[in-house]
Amino acid sequence: MSERIRNVATVIVIAVMAIALVLLTSTQPADVDRVEQIGLRIKCPVCQGESIANSPSPMAEDMMDLVSERVAAGVSDQGIIDELLGSYTGAVLLDPPASGSTLALWLAPMVALALGVGVILWWQRHPGSDTHDPAPPVERSRTRLLTGGVVLILAFAGIVVVASNSLQDRPAEAAGAAALEGQDLSEVSNETMEAVVAANADNPEVNGMRLALAERYFEVGDYRSAFPHYLLVAEDPEATAGEAVTALVRLGWMAYDGNGEVETATRLVDEALAIDPRSTVALYVRARLRWCGAGETDQAIETFEGLLTDPGLDPETAAGIEADLELARDGGECP
Amino acid sequence: MLAFLGSAGVLAALIGAVLLVLRGIRLTRGGDADLKSPANLVLAGALVAMGAMQIALLSDDFALAYVANHHSVTTPFPFDVATAWAALEGSIVLWGLVLAFFTWVTVRRQGGPSDRLGAAAVAVMGGVAIFFFGLMITVANPFEVCVDALTVGCAGSSPWPFAAIDAPADGPGPNPLLQNHLLMAVHPPVLYIGYVGLTVPFAYAIGALALGTPGPEWLRRSHRSTLVAWSFLTLGIAFGGWWAYEVLSWGGYWAWDPVENASLMPWLAATAFIHSGLVQQRRGMLQAWNFVLVISAFALTILGTFLTRSGTINSVHSFTQSAIGPALLGFLVLVLVGSFTLFAMRSHLVASSPRIESFVSREGTFLVNNLLLTVYAFVVLIGTTYPLLLEAFTGTQVGVGEPFFNRLAVPLSFMLLLTMGFGPVTPWRGAAPGLLWRRLRAPALIALALGLLVALTVTRVGWAILAIVLGVFVIAAIVALLLELAINRTAKSQRSVLEEARTVVANDQAFWAGQVSHIGVVLVAIGIAFAANLPLHAEVEMSQGDSVDFAGFTLTYDAPFRRNEPNRVVEGVRVDVHRGGRLVSTLEPRANFYAGVTGGIVTPAVMTRPGGDLYLTLRNLDAETVELGLDTSPMIWLLWLGGLTTATGGFWSLSARRRERVVEQERVLADV
């Protein structure tokens, strides 16, 4: 058999095998675990960049259970994802779409690849000299390079300045946490705080940190993790009045918002008001409970109006109360 | 006392580093200076610092704030030793020690007053050392003493060693996840050797640019350090994946987590650099590109440290609240701006590359490999930093996770595998017509045949089939090349093919060591493909005495157990694993409860077998029933074996004595 025929035969065999392989694998039923696939696309709200499929946290497990239920009920992927993103603050899609603010994310690698291919082709057409001797220094190119360097430095400096400015503007809102002995806790991770509060459980000074930790959980909607901490503070006879009030009010709100228990919620907030009858947050939640839970809209309006007369009210809370007041006056449903 | 000792060590190392910079610069200007004593001072200082930390940990000296906050009297050996790198300040001590060692070696290799390049490299190493030891006396001081003790742990500390000490009786201990597995004691030091080792080629490159001698000398002299760094980095990444699999109870080994990405990026850049460095040494091409790569690889190690140690990943907002973040970012900007400005100022001296004669050549495949690896690193970089940048500039929160990375990294990996099949069999300069066909047709046939066999016998194999076909293609091409070269030799000698194969390998050990690494990468690729496509999963609830059948095994819930260990309480269940009526193993999926930590740390029970692992995770345990997660990880050991093989190739090439000319002549003959 001549070399040529053998080559042709080999090519045919390779082609046939490749086609057979493609056909075989493409006809096999796709067996993907939809629950897992969806879980991988959602960031766990209380973790550091982990998806809910990979996180061991109770909140992620709850969310995965929800995904399983919805998948079993035949809800579409998008429907499940929308529900998760809507009901868990801090849950973020880990699979950014190739549009809007994440378009550049998808485009950049393509551009980089195209650029790389372009540079290689350009180099092929405009090669340097074959000798290894350095080219004689050309004054013009040197100036050009120096200019380039200066532009580079300025660009970097600009980025750093803008970045640090835009960062410094905002930490305050994230840092609104109470502190243990006046320490700044905003850079302390949840895990560290858990460890510290557990290790110092008998120390009344730790209530501040415990509360800060609970507030973090509360803000992202992780009531399950927040609950025991609030409870411990509320039950601690050595807790300061402010700490106890905050804990009781939060417990009340979680009882209403999480389980719909209006009575329990009202009782807890009343306990808080017994400690501090002028607590803005307790009065506010009490009014919300009257409005949303008991349907006593008029009394709620009265309390809202009373609260707004307080000159010490911070603008953000005031805006929230005003919005609620307007809605309540218009006879709207509580949000 | 230990605080003083440790601080004195750090200070000594810092002084040594300053002297290295000054004397290094003096040497490059034609002066004479002794580098050895400052290098000894740096190493001794770093050793004293690490020694003080270790003594403090082993003797439960809670006067040190670091010990008070990260150690506990109950922390068992060897985790008390490993606590030295369980948190930020301690890990910088380890970083400093490794850097001091690499600096010391660089100084040993410096060849006196006539060796200006060596002196310049030492000066750069000294500069980097100033930064890291500087961190230790400023924003990340590991030797602060506790001045405000809590019942457990420390609330306030002072950098002044003689401040009035208020030491607690005990500390909370290291992060429980870090005292759950032996690998955690090994993984960080190995990884750090990888990270820090990349400082050496960077130092030589910057030295060469500063002196205006950008020829291949710097590459030749940093070659071994680059290989050491790369091999350790490989090993470190493999250990990290293994640890995650054994400890983190989700059955995975890699999640494109920023911390993982931080180690992958320098690895990709260093891998590209090892290949492109060869092109410059052999063909004089890519001089400028090698500078770009080595600067990027070093900068990526700093970026990785910044991302993982500044708290930025937790939240962009924590950036300005910890001083280590701005310090590392500032250093990163300094490195990038300084290096590239220097590079721009010297670029007229960098010889431009000669024309590539043919893309069908070794250098051609290396170009493709460099393009792919660079884009790969860029994908990881942009995916990791995009959410941070977007939030910093616009306040918009987005997440970038596994789906994004997989969609881009998987095709890139396949292209890399294909290139890996072509590269080693393609000669330098250009291949004679028909050569590649002759060398690759048999591997292609074998790979496709094996792929068909797998596709016919294993169901649900999905895209794993592509990994198998390409992987077998790469390995078959390597084996075929070895056979071809050996058989060619037997024509002239009377020796057997095996003996000649041994000679072929001995003659070009570096090349064949590289092929060992390639085989390791193939094993990893196939392991990943199996792990992604073939695992089984189930969730079960069992009462005592119940059995379930899963993946060919019968699992019986024997009994719950509870053990008190010095540093933790272990709760779990015993599960008997039977196969064909025979007891194969008893597994103990469990949760470890540590003092001071709410909730248990769930630890999986893993049974390793050649076909794959059985992986049991405790979900819930009460008086009557237990809920378990059951998983299989088919052939997961391929990943660990692959990682070890890849690193082994790197270490082996270190001992290579190159007798390439002989081999090269033979290859040219074979081509004709």
User: Smallest CA–CA separation between A25 and chain B, in Å?
Assistant: 6
Average pLDDT in chain A: 75
Contact B73, B170 (CB under 8 A): yes
Task: Please report which helix (H) or strand (E) contains residue B480, including its range.
Answer: helix B464-490
Burial of B142 (0-12, 13-18, 19+ CB in 10 A): buried
Q: Given a cut of 70, is residue B349 above it in pLDDT? A: yes
Instruction: Flag the least confident range among A156-160, A173-177, A234-238.
Output: A173-177
pLDDT given at position B442: 95
Contact B201, B334 (CB under 8 A): no
Contact B642, B524 (CB under 8 A): yes
**Cα–Cα distances in angstroms (integers) from residue A36 to residues B253, B299, B406, B619, in the given order:** 16, 36, 15, 17
Could you count the other beta carbons within 10 Å of the beta carbon of residue A272?
Answer: 26
Could you count the other beta carbons within 10 Å of the beta carbon of residue B512?
Answer: 22
Q: How far apart are CA A298 and CA A263, in angstroms?
A: 19
For a pLDDT cut of 90, what percent of chain A falls above it? 9
Residue B447: which pLDDT band, with cuts at 50, 70 and 90?
very high
CB-based contact B398 A92, cutoff 8 Å: yes
CB-based contact A94 B403, cutoff 8 Å: yes
- 3-state SS class at A88: coil
**Closest chain B residue by Cα to residue A109:** B379
User: Smallest CA–CA separation between A165 and chain B, in Å?
Assistant: 9
Q: How far apart are CA B169 and CA A158, in angstroms?
A: 49
CB-based contact A109 B379, cutoff 8 Å: yes
Q: In which residue are the tokens 């557990």 written?
A: A198
Q: How far apart are CA A108 and CA A89, in angstroms?
A: 29
Q: How far apart are CA A17 and CA B586, in angstroms?
A: 45
Q: Is A28 on the interface with B (CB under 8 A)?
A: yes
* A253 domain residue, yes or no: yes
Please tell me whether residues B218 and B140 are part of one structural domain: no
pLDDT given at position A283: 82
Contacts of B452 in chain A (CB under 8 A): 17, 20-21, 24
Contact B476, B446 (CB under 8 A): yes
Degrees (nearest 5) of the Cα angle A287, A288, A293?
A: 110
Q: Given a cut of 90, is residue A299 above it in pLDDT? A: no
Residues A68-87 have a mean pLDDT of 88
Q: In which residue are the tokens 């946290």 written?
A: A57
Please tell me whether residues B309 and B382 are part of one structural domain: yes
User: Smallest CA–CA separation between A231 and chain B, in Å?
Assistant: 15
- Which residue, B406, B424, B442, sits at the end of a domain? B424
Q: How far apart are CA A176 and CA B132, in angstroms?
A: 33
Residues A15-38 have a mean pLDDT of 81
- Which residue, B153, B174, B195, sits at the end of a domain? B174
* A68 domain residue, yes or no: yes
Q: How far apart are CA B601 and CA B619, in angstroms?
A: 11
Q: How far apart are CA A44 and CA B563, in angstroms?
A: 32
Return the residue in A113, A184, A232 with the most chain B beta carbons within 10 A, the one to mutate for interface testing.
Answer: A113
Residues in chain B: 672
User: Smallest CA–CA separation between B151 and chain A, in Å?
Assistant: 6
CB-based contact B348 A94, cutoff 8 Å: no
Please tell me whether residues B65 and B156 are part of one structural domain: yes
Q: Given a cut of 90, is residue B540 above it in pLDDT? A: yes
* B640 domain residue, yes or no: no
Residue A224: which pLDDT band, with cuts at 50, 70 and 90?
confident
pLDDT given at position A1: 62
* A228 domain residue, yes or no: yes
Residues B324-345 have a mean pLDDT of 93
Contacts of A194 in chain B (CB under 8 A): 597-598
Please tell me whether residues B342 and B254 are part of one structural domain: yes
- Nearest Cα neighbor of B293 from B305, B282, B284, B280 is B280
pLDDT given at position A174: 34
How many domains does chain B divide into? 4
Q: How far apart are CA B536 and CA B633, in angstroms?
A: 8
First and final C-alpha spacing in chain A: 85
Residues A304-314 have a mean pLDDT of 76
Q: The dihedral of CA B454, B460, B464, B465: what is its sign? A: positive
User: Smallest CA–CA separation between B208 and chain A, in Å?
Assistant: 14
Render pLDDT for B544-587 as a digit per residue (tens, 0 to 9).
999 999 999 999 999 999 999 888 899 999 999 999 889 999 99
pLDDT given at position A178: 34
Nearest neighbour of B320 by CB, restricted to A128, A168, A196: A168
Average pLDDT in chain B: 90
pLDDT given at position A50: 78
Domain of residue B46, CATH code: 1.20.120
Instruction: Flag the least confident range among A25-29, A210-214, B335-339, B379-383.
Output: A25-29
Instruction: Flag the least confident range among A92-96, A314-318, B329-333, B362-366.
Output: A314-318
**ipTM score for this prediction:** 0.86
Render pLDDT for B170-216 as a digit per residue (tens, 0 to 9).
998 888 878 878 888 899 999 999 999 999 999 999 999 999 998 88
> Which range among A57-71, B88-102, B246-260 has the greatest average pLDDT?
B88-102
Contact B590, B604 (CB under 8 A): no
Please tell me whether residues B440 and B362 are part of one structural domain: no
**Closest chain A residue by Cα to residue B446:** A14
* A146 domain residue, yes or no: no
Q: Given a cut of 50, is residue A176 above it in pLDDT? A: no
Contacts of A152 in chain B (CB under 8 A): 337, 340-341, 344
Q: Given a cut of 50, is residue A177 above it in pLDDT? A: no
* B328 domain residue, yes or no: yes
* A70 domain residue, yes or no: yes
**Closest chain A residue by Cα to residue B537:** A33
Please tell me whether residues B46 and B111 are part of one structural domain: yes
pLDDT given at position B531: 87
Q: How many CA atoms lie within 13 A of A179 on its CB side?
A: 11
Give the range of the structural domain holding residue B453, as residue numbers without chain letter: 425-534+648-671
pLDDT given at position A146: 58
Q: Given a cut of 60, is residue A102 above it in pLDDT? A: yes
Please tell me whether residues B277 and B142 are part of one structural domain: no
pLDDT given at position A157: 59
Contact B405, B380 (CB under 8 A): yes
Please tell me whether residues B80 and B188 are part of one structural domain: no
Nearest neighbour of B375 by CB, restricted to A113, A123, A163: A113
Residues B25-30 have a mean pLDDT of 94
* B4 domain residue, yes or no: yes
Q: Given a cut of 70, is residue B289 above it in pLDDT? A: yes
Contacts of A12 in chain B (CB under 8 A): none
Render pLDDT for B123-178 as a digit per residue (tens, 0 to 9).
999 999 999 999 999 999 999 999 999 888 898 899 999 999 999 999 988 888 78
Q: In which residue are the tokens 């103990």 written?
A: B588
Please tell me whether residues B224 and B348 are part of one structural domain: yes
- Which residue, B365, B391, B424, sits at the end of a domain? B424
Q: How far apart are CA B654 and CA B514, in angstroms?
A: 11
Please tell me whether residues B86 and B186 are part of one structural domain: no
Instruction: Flag the least confident range among A29-33, B239-243, B604-608.
Output: A29-33
For a pLDDT cut of 70, what percent of chain B falls above it? 96
Q: Given a cut of 60, is residue A129 above it in pLDDT? A: no
Instruction: Flag the least confident range among A157-171, B14-28, B319-333, B475-489.
Output: A157-171
* A57 domain residue, yes or no: yes
Instruction: For chain A, positions 224-263, list CB contacts with chain B under 8 A.
Output: 228
First and final C-alpha spacing in chain B: 73
Q: Given a cut of 90, is residue A304 above it in pLDDT? A: no
- Token pair for residue B402? 């596994």
Q: How far apart are CA B126 and CA B16, in angstroms?
A: 8
Q: Given a cut of 80, is residue A314 above it in pLDDT? A: no
Q: How far apart are CA A122 and CA A120, in angstroms?
A: 5
pLDDT given at position A136: 41
Return the residue in B88, B157, B320, B593 with the most chain A beta carbons within 10 A, the one to mutate for interface testing.
Answer: B320
Contact B317, A170 (CB under 8 A): yes
Q: Given a cut of 50, is residue B354 above it in pLDDT? A: yes
Residue A138: which pLDDT band, with cuts at 50, 70 and 90?
very low
pLDDT given at position B546: 93
pLDDT given at position A145: 57
Task: Please report which helix (H) or strand (E) contains residue A37, including its range.
Answer: helix A34-40
Q: Given a cut of 80, is residue B494 above it in pLDDT? A: yes
Measured in degrees and rounded to the nearest 5, phi and psi for residue B278 equal: -60, -40
- Nearest Cα neighbor of A164 from B315, B301, B329 is B329
- Token pair for residue B45? 């200082």
CB-based contact B250 A120, cutoff 8 Å: no
Residues A290-314 have a mean pLDDT of 77
- Nearest Cα neighbor of A291 from A258, A321, A246 is A321
Instruction: Flag the least confident range among A76-80, A160-164, B325-329.
Output: A160-164
Burial of B429 (0-12, 13-18, 19+ CB in 10 A): middle
Q: Is A102 on the interface with B (CB under 8 A)?
A: yes
* A182 domain residue, yes or no: no
pLDDT given at position B20: 97
Please tell me whether residues B324 and B400 are part of one structural domain: yes
How many domains does chain A divide into? 2
Measured in degrees and rounded to the nearest 5, phi and psi for residue B181 equal: -155, 140
* B249 domain residue, yes or no: yes
CB-based contact A186 B437, cutoff 8 Å: no
CB-based burial, B169-182: b 16+ in 10 Å, e otherwise: ebbbbbbbbbbbbe
Please tell me whether residues B618 and B526 are part of one structural domain: no
Residue A171: which pLDDT band, with cuts at 50, 70 and 90?
very low
CB-based contact B597 A194, cutoff 8 Å: yes
pLDDT given at position A130: 44
Q: In which residue are the tokens 């200076």 written?
A: B33
Contacts of B282 in chain A (CB under 8 A): none
Task: Please report which helix (H) or strand (E) contains residue B585, including its range.
Answer: strand B582-587
Domain of residue A229, CATH code: 1.25.40.10
User: Smallest CA–CA separation between A278 and chain B, in Å?
Assistant: 33
Q: Given a cut of 90, is residue B404 above it in pLDDT? A: yes
CB-based contact B460 A31, cutoff 8 Å: yes
Residue A105: which pLDDT band, with cuts at 50, 70 and 90?
very high
Contact A327, A335 (CB under 8 A): yes
Between A87 and B488, name the one with better pLDDT.
B488
pLDDT given at position B34: 94
User: Smallest CA–CA separation between B228 and chain A, in Å?
Assistant: 29
Q: In which residue are the tokens 């189930």 written?
A: B538
Contacts of A137 in chain B (CB under 8 A): 348-349
Per DSSP, the residues of B90-139 read: HHHHHHHHHHHHHHHHHHHT--STT-HHHHHHHHHHHHHHHHHHHHHHTT
Give the range of the structural domain holding residue A44, as residue numbers without chain letter: 34-87
Could you count the other beta carbons within 10 Å of the beta carbon of residue A190?
Answer: 18
CB-based contact B378 A175, cutoff 8 Å: no
pLDDT given at position A168: 42
> Which range among A3-7, A144-148, B348-352 has the greatest average pLDDT?
A3-7
User: Which amino acid, residue B17?
Assistant: A
* A245 domain residue, yes or no: yes
Q: Given a cut of 70, is residue B440 above it in pLDDT? A: yes
Q: Given a cut of 60, is residue B507 above it in pLDDT? A: yes
Q: Given a cut of 50, is residue A169 above it in pLDDT? A: no
* B168 domain residue, yes or no: yes
Q: How far apart are CA A210 and CA B454, in angstroms?
A: 56
Per DSSP, the residues of B186-202 read: HHHHHHHHHHHHTHHHH
* B641 domain residue, yes or no: no
Q: Is A198 on the interface with B (CB under 8 A)?
A: yes
Between B607 and A233, name the one with better pLDDT.
B607
Residues B335-354 have a mean pLDDT of 87
Residue A175: which pLDDT band, with cuts at 50, 70 and 90?
very low
- Nearest Cα neighbor of B131 from B295, B3, B8, B302 is B302
Q: How far apart are CA A203 and CA B663, in angstroms?
A: 74
**Closest chain B residue by Cα to residue A51:** B401
- Which residue, A44, A72, A87, sits at the end of a domain? A87
